[in-house]
Amino acid sequence: MVKAASRQSVPVRRADAERNIAAILAAGTRLLSSDPAASVAAIAKAAGVGRVTLYGHFPSREALVEAVLNHVIGAADPALEDPALETAPAPEAMAALLRSSWEILDQHRRLFVAADRTMATERIRRHHDRPLRRVERLIERGRRGGDFRTDLPLPWLVTTFFSLVHSAAQEREEGRLAPEDVERVLITSMLSLLTDGVSAFS
């Protein structure tokens, strides 16, 4: 009887842990997206758990920020799925992808500021591998169709996309880039690079 009760308690503990993790990630998303300096104590309180419980799942603030970042990227990735990315002219598809990417990033730009403060750039980049594969496919299609330049390495062009969008978030957060200018600046910058300075989209 004792062993049976013990076996039954394991799924209960696992379910409790999953609920706690979900609550912590949701609270972390809310708080870090509004304040990149949000403390572990504040996130634990918002999640309705104690700090000991939070640290049981995420041993440091850095680990928590990384988990929240991964959670947000994973949740946002399906929103970037658009059949037009495979069929529209490559410059138009790139402009659309930049708009949708910025729309998502802008909602969470302070979370990305928190990530920049606590994580190495390469670690942040690795969490974007899946959405960046979409960028890579689009650039490859544009190159095959003669819309995009072929004299620069493909990985460099993909990295430029990543760097531009995240730099825009930092500039927007610091007030050096006006909200109404972000999309235009991103599209102009990326397409100027991809088309060797020839305006391919307006």
Domain boundaries, the chain: 2-59, 74-194
Q: Residue 132 pLDDT more than 50?
A: yes
**In this predicted structure, what is the pLDDT of residue 8?**
53
Q: Look at residue 158 and tell me whether its pLDDT is greater than 50.
A: yes
Mean pLDDT value across residues 124-149: 93
Q: What is the pLDDT of residue 199?
A: 45
Under the banding of pLDDT at 50, 70 and 90, the label for residue 11 is low
Contacts of residue 101, Cβ cutoff 8 Å, sequence gap at least 6: 80, 131, 165
Q: What is the structure's pLDDT at 200?
A: 43
CATH number 1.10.10 given to 2-59: yes
The two three-digit tokens of residue 8, written as one number = 């039954």
pTM exceeds cut of 0.85: no
For domain 74-194, the CATH architecture is: Orthogonal Bundle (1.10)
Asked if pLDDT for residue 94 goes beyond 90, the answer is yes
Is the pLDDT assigned to residue 20 strictly greater than 80? yes
The tokens describing 133, both together, are 């594969």
In this predicted structure, the answer to whether residue 9 has a pLDDT above a threshold of 90 is no
Q: pLDDT at residue 130 above 50?
A: yes
Give 98-101's long-range contacts (Cβ < 8 A, gap of 24+): 98/161, 98/165, 98/183, 98/186, 98/187, 98/190, 99/183, 99/187, 101/131, 101/165
Q: What value does the mean pLDDT of the chain take?
A: 89
Q: What is the DSSP letter of 119?
A: S
pLDDT band at 82 (very low <50, low <70, confident <90, very high): confident
| Kind and range of the H or E run holding 11 | helix 2-34
Residue 14 pLDDT class (50, 70, 90 cuts): confident
> Which pLDDT value is given to residue 28?
97
pLDDT at position 202 is 38
CA distance linking residue 181 with residue 160, whole number of Å: 19
